[in-house]
Each structure stands twice: as C-alpha cells, then as structure tokens.
Structure 1
Amino acid sequence: MALALRPRSPLREMDWQRPSVLAVLAVALVCVPQQRAQLDSSFNVTAADVAAGCLVVAALVHALRARLRLPRRAYLLAPPAVAVTAATLASVDVVAALPGFVRYLEIFVIVPLAMAIVVRDEVDRRLVAAAVLGAALVQALLGCWQAYSGSGASYGGQSIRAVGTFGAVDVMGMATVVCYGAIVALALVLTTRGRPRVAAALVLIVLLAALVLSLSRGAWLAWLMAGVVMILLSGSRRAVGGALAGALVLGLVVLGGWGSGTVTQRLASMTSVASQPDQSVNDRYGLWETAGGMWHDHPLLGVGPRGFAAWRDNYAPLHVSASSDTADPVNGFQRQELRSPHNMYLLVLSEQGLLGLTAFALMWAGLAVWAAKRARRGRTPAQKAAGLCAAGFLTWQLVDFVYADVGGSPTVVMSIMIGLLLSWVVAADAA
C-alpha cells in the first residue's frame, strides 16, 4: 500500500469494507442519466458527485483514525489549490466564482487526494480499474445500439450519434468514458496471455467501435496518440498487431454500414479544420481567441473561475455563436450556452491567469515524470499493465485538453483516474 503506515492483509478485510468501493460506486453512478433540471442548472450536483463526496469523507476518517501523513509527492496538488484560490479571491464577483472554485478543487485536488488515501494495495487498483472498464463497456454497447437503431443524438438531421446514457447535452461524455475503458483494455491486451488477452481484445473492439460511432474527432485523435504510445512502450513487435486491430475496427464500422458515410465525412473533416473549418470549428477558434483576449487583459490571475461565460460577450468575435443546438429522443431539442473555450489550457489561462496555468502544468508534468520513473521499475505483468495505463491516460488527457475541457458527470471519472495514478506514483514514498 502506497500510503498506509500500518499495511493490512487483503485476506483480513473483505472487499466491501474497502473505502475504494465508494470510488467504484462513483464510477457506476456516472452512467445514471441526469434529469432535465440538472442539465439546465449552472451548478450541477450529480449522483456521482455525491458518491465522490462520500469517498472524500471516508478518506478523511481513515486518515484521521490511522494518523496518516501525506506522502511528499501528494503535495503536488498544492499549487493548483493555491492558484485557483488566488484567482477566486481576485475575481470581480467572488460569490459567482465560488461554484467554479469548488468544482475545480473537487476535480483536481480533493478527489485525487482521497483516492491516494483509500487506494491501499493492488486489489484496490484492480477494483477501480474494473469499474472503469465495466462502465465503458455499458456505455459502448448502448452507444452501438443507438447508432444502429437511430436512437442516438442528432447529427446531420439523423439520430445516429452514439452518446450512451449522457445524451446530446453531454455529447462527449460517452466518448470520454469509453476512451478510459479502452486504455485499460489495451493495457490488458498488451500484458496478458491466453484467454484473458482474447477477452480483453474483444472488449477493446467493442469500445473502439463505439468510439468511432461517437463521431468525436478530438477523442479519436487523443486515443490514437494514447494507443500509439502504449503500443510503442510495450514493444515494437506488438505495433503491427495494434495497427491491424485498429484498422479492423474502423473497417467493421464503415463497411458494416453503421453511419458509414457520416464516419467517412467526419474523418475527412479532420484534415480540413484549418483550410475549410465547419461552423463548430469556427466557433471553437473564436472561443480560443476570446480566451486569449481575457488573458491579455488579466494576465496574472485571470477573470476568476466560471468567469469565461460572464466575460465571453465582451471579447468574442462577431462570428461566434452564443450557443449550440443539440437534440436526442430523450431530451429533445435544446439550445446550450457556450460557457467555455473548449480547450482546458485556455480555460485555465483565461480564468486563472499565468499563475493558474503554471500550477496546472506543474501538476501534470510531475505526474508524467513520476509515472515514467515508476513504470521503468515494473517487472510483473500487473506492474507493466499499470505503467501502460498511466502512459495511456496521461497521453489521452493531455491531448484531449487541446479540444475539450472539464464538465459533466464524466469529469468525476477523470478525477478518480487522476487519483488512481497519484496513488500509484506516490508508492515510492513508502519504499
């Protein structure tokens, strides 16, 4: 166990007594569809957030009872906490910034720290990883059915976009969870043998098929980068097999007729985002310009958490749409306000300034360096799988942040994944 001063044998403690089960519950509750009232609320508390709160309380009780001392590496979460606090206090409307302040602390500080406390051994890590893989498989199966039956989100006038239980109002939700599960599945494919490898490969095919049908270009590119990194780290002989598997999934989706024309069109649009951008890309470029303008006028501490939406109209170019239209059979037609630049780095820069972006970059850089050092020590298949999962998650998240930012219930899964990674890299403090 990475943190406990008094390690306990897994044989002396039933799995249901482990606080990490609350992380499993939080991941499972992410799949629960949200109500319309929740979706329209600017301060959205989901069932997964409640479970994550219970996880934090359990971690606090455990730390106090066992008199745990935080590992040195856990203090890597301090700079983001200090930066967002400073940005909140310096904002024009502190009260309006408080929901963003709480959300940011929850995602990048409190839940990851709680995970680092409650994840005590390899059994805990396997429980949480299995929960992520299970949630991803559920979402993928539902998403494939939506694309096949025409009951998904609207795209081009047809309800063929796979969105899982998240609906069109959180169109990236299913793709995000599926990508996390695909990273776990690929790590198992690359580190196991026999029937476990076959089972993991079948799950991976289903997950990748759903990812293609999500029509999320940013998620495609991020997962491609993560998969390449994982395959290269596992050995060059597996690179050919990985490329063939990816080509097989794409061929099955396209040639199978599941939105084949739409998938082909979506793939083609990835090469023309600079020369002939569509409306969504034009809006994104405009929002990026908006974030840059906010940072230019508030360079050190930004406009404060949740300040982008309030200041957007003062900086946005005239061609930027103020909202986007979504539709699906469950939620119907909805018009959503564009409250972020759809780029996590620019969001942090505009709302927390240079201080916030520096702290944010420091946290991720520290996790990447420590994960690389820990991965080199891996000898057993389980240790190698953990190293590949860490590399894949870091690659996917850092690339995806170029096209997306935090939001929606899948963000809870991201914070749990950060905590799982943190619990793994701080194990060196106990050595």
Structure 2
Amino acid sequence: MTLLLRVLACATVALAPLEGYLLAAHGQLAKIAPALLAAVWVAARVRERRMPAPHPVHAVLGLFAVVLLASTALHAGGPYAVDYLQRWLPFLVVTVVLVDVAAREVPIRALLGSIVAGAAVAALGALHSMVAEGETRATGPLEDPNDLAYFLVAALPLLVALLDPRGSRLRSAGLALTGLVLAAGAAATFSRGGALALTAAVTWLVARRALPVRAVVGGMAALAALGVGVVLLAGPTLDRALQEKSHIAGTNVDTRELRWQAAARMVAGHPVLGVGPGGFRDGYAAASHNAEVDEQTPVAHNMYLEVAAELGLAGFGLFVGLPAVAAVGSERVLRSGERRPMAAVQASLIAVAVASTFLSQQYYLPLWSLVAVVAAADLRRRGTGCVCST
C-alpha cells in the first residue's frame, strides 16, 4: 500500500488549487483523492495494527475538534452550522493522515514538489484565462482571483526546498521557469494581499540565507521583462484591468472594514463558543446593522476574525495554535538538519499567515498541508536525527 499512499497523498495536495476545474467536471470529483487517501490510510494502519506516532499537532487538532463540535451543537439550529462543520472536519482528518504518511511512507520533498506542481498548473490556467478568455484578472481554476493568488504565493517559496546545489542545470532552469510561471500567475490576479504575502515570504528567505539576493533580483528582472512584453502586446487590456482593479480596491477596503467590525462585535457578544460554524454569514446583516444591502451573507475576508467570531476565543486560540506549533517544530527541524527546505516551508507558512489577514482561507488546503509537513519532518527528526531523507 506504500505506493498507493504516496500517489494519493501527492494527488491530494497537487489537486487542491485545481478545485474549480474538478468541480466543473463533477460536483464530487474534488473529494475523491482525499477520501481515498483517508480510506487507504485507515486500511493500512489496521492491517499493520499501528497507531500514528504522537505529535503536539495531534493534541491541538483534537482539542480544536472538541470546540468545533461544541460550538456546532450549541448553534445547531443555524442554517449553516452543520454544513460548515462538514467543511471543517475533512481538513482535520486530512491533516492527521498527511502527518502520518509523510512521517513514514511519503518523502516530504515529494509532497512539496506536488504542491508546487499543482500550483504551477493553476498558474498556467490563470494566464490562459487572461490571454485566451479575455479576463481582466486571472481566475483560471478558482472563481476568486484572490483565492488563486493565495495558492500561488504559498507554493512559490517551496521552490527553494526543491533546489539541489548538486543538481543539473536543466533541473535548475526548470525550477526557475516554474517560479516565473507562478509569479506571473500571481501578478495576473492583481491581488494586493498576495503581493504582501509574497514580499514577506521572500524577505524571510533572504533573512534566513536560504535565497541569495541575486536570485531575487534576477527573478524580479525576469518578471519585469515579462511585464514589458505584456504592455507591448496587450497594453489596452492591461490598462482596463488596472482601472477595474483600482475601482474594486476602493470598494474592497470599505467592505472589509465593515465585515471586520461585524466580526469583532460577534466575538465580543459570544466570546466562549462564538456564533457557530457559518454563523458569520448568518448573522452578518444584524451585526453590521445591514451595512451592505446587496450582500447579506458574505465571508469576513479575514481568516482570524472569522474563526474567532464563529468558534469563540477558545476555538481561535487552538486554531492559531496550529501554525504556532508548526513554527516551533520547523525551527527544531531547521536547526537539526538541512536549513534550506525548512526555511522554505517557514516562508510558505508566513505567506499563508499574511494572505489570510485579507482572506477567509481556513477552508483551503495550504495551511493544513504545511502544518502536516512540519509535524512529519519533526517526527522524522526524532526518529533519524536529520531531515536528509525528507
């Protein structure tokens, strides 16, 4: 079953940014890979009669699940509570599964490579949506350009983990081209949050000496050259896209402020277990005093405030505890073995954390898969004393 677990684990993370394409083909297609992964994992562990190796992430996930179920039970009458519970639980299960298989059967570099590969395909789809379909902002496999940017900027730092100083020039050139595609796809979304997230991630990589400044300068030069080509070939389309984005940006600032204020009111009013999963959407009109007549059930556009509003301070504390535990574990792994791969994962986590300040991204895989990768690398460190085999 080892090969099957490897294939399904890599497919699960690679297909995550392509969810829109899968849903367009069939409403349940996006769930097949993670569902099969969980089923095969359970079968393998039952046959082996072995429990997963414990890690602090498991404790945080378990406590978070308790709070999630309690909040759902308290607000079971809400129109979204059960539906949103069903959105949360698969991520908790997949995280547990990925931690275990990446600690044993699946090479961590293979998982990281799969994340990058899936994001690269999504970036190509994003560029195709602009060039061939005439979209003013790249969307491709995801309806919202900001969500797409989230996936792409989370994947970009992981290219550093795939670098091999002893590798061939062809491999290095391939990684550089992949980086250019990801960066171009992210730029084509015109996402300001994505740009801030990528800036933070690159700054971290340079500060940790995992990425030379000359590589950053070279990448920026290549992206600038590509931008000049776009201006020359599609200047009017680009100008229209910038004008539309400028108009949308002003509206976004106003609406996000309204939603963040509404979320803060919900936290103040229901600090223990929140308003229940999906409760922000249900209660937004009342909490905002009907501030948006044309949008009655939105998301908060801030992952942290939305989780705090819906699951209370206990749920929020446990939720942010996941990346916090991952940050501590990643530093342990970094100091005990290869610095570059784990610095890249740290940078990706930083990109996720920054981008999620402007987006509700708790229902997308990057955060969960990165937490799982760090926990798995930490377990490998305990068992082997290095991360050379990851």
Taking structure 2 as the reference length, what is the TM-score of the superposition? 0.85
Aligned to 2:155: 181
CA distance in 1 between counterparts of 2:197 and 2:160 reads 14
Aligned to 1:290: 262
Contact 2:95 2:372 (8 Å CA) reproduced: yes
Q: Which amino acid aligns with 1:297?
A: G
Aligned to 1:209: 184
Q: Which amino acid aligns with 2:111?
A: V
Contact 1:299 1:354 (8 Å CA) reproduced: yes
Equivalent runs, 1:188-267 vs 2, <5 Å: 188-189=162-163, 194-195=168-169, 196-234=171-209, 238-254=212-228, 256-257=230-231, 260-261=238-239
Contact 2:120 2:181 (8 Å CA) reproduced: yes
Structure 2 vs 1, CA of residues 69 and 143 (structure 1 numbering), >3 Å: closer, same or farther? closer
Contact 1:187 1:385 (8 Å CA) reproduced: yes
Structure 1 residue 207, shift from structure 2 partner: 1.1
Contact 2:23 2:29 (8 Å CA) reproduced: no
Match of 1:164 among 121, 140, 159: 140
Question: Which structure's residues are more often helix, by fraction?
Answer: 2
Q: Which amino acid aligns with 1:304?
A: G
Aligned to 1:60: 42
Judge which range, 136-145 or 63-72, deviates more.
Answer: 63-72
Matched, 1:90 2:74: yes
CA distance in 2 between counterparts of 1:348 and 1:430 reads 35
Taking structure 1 as the reference length, what is the TM-score of the superposition? 0.78
Match of 2:278 among 306, 309, 323: 306
User: Structure 2: which 5+ runs fail to align?
Assistant: 385-390
CA distance in 2 between counterparts of 1:137 and 1:298 reads 41
SS of residue paired to 1:197: helix
Aligned to 1:136: 119
SS of residue paired to 1:78: helix
Aligned to 2:128: 145
CA distance in 1 between counterparts of 2:280 and 2:6 reads 35
How large is the Cα RMSD of the aligned pairs? 3.0
Contact 2:72 2:276 (8 Å CA) reproduced: yes
SS of residue paired to 1:172: helix
Contact 1:52 1:412 (8 Å CA) reproduced: no
Q: Which amino acid aligns with 1:161?
A: R
CA offsets per residue over residues 110-150 of structure 1, 9 Å max, x none? 1110011222458532332222222122122222232233x
Structure 2 vs 1, CA of residues 317 and 141 (structure 1 numbering), >3 Å: closer, same or farther? same
Identity %: 23
Structure 2 vs 1, CA of residues 18 and 283 (structure 1 numbering), >3 Å: closer, same or farther? same
Matched, 1:22 2:8: yes
Match of 1:102 among 86, 90, 99: 86
SS of residue paired to 1:160: coil
CA distance in 2 between counterparts of 1:203 and 1:46 reads 29
CA distance in 1 between counterparts of 2:164 and 2:175 reads 9
Q: Which amino acid aligns with 1:419?
A: A
Aligned to 1:281: 253
CA distance in 2 between counterparts of 1:244 and 1:293 reads 46
Structure 2 vs 1, CA of residues 301 and 142 (structure 1 numbering), >3 Å: closer, same or farther? same
CA distance in 2 between counterparts of 1:305 and 1:116 reads 25
CA offsets per residue over residues 156-179 of structure 1, 9 Å max, x none? xxx22111222xx33334323322
Question: Which structure's residues are more often strand, by fraction?
Answer: 1
Structure 2 vs 1, CA of residues 213 and 417 (structure 1 numbering), >3 Å: closer, same or farther? same
Aligned to 1:49: 31
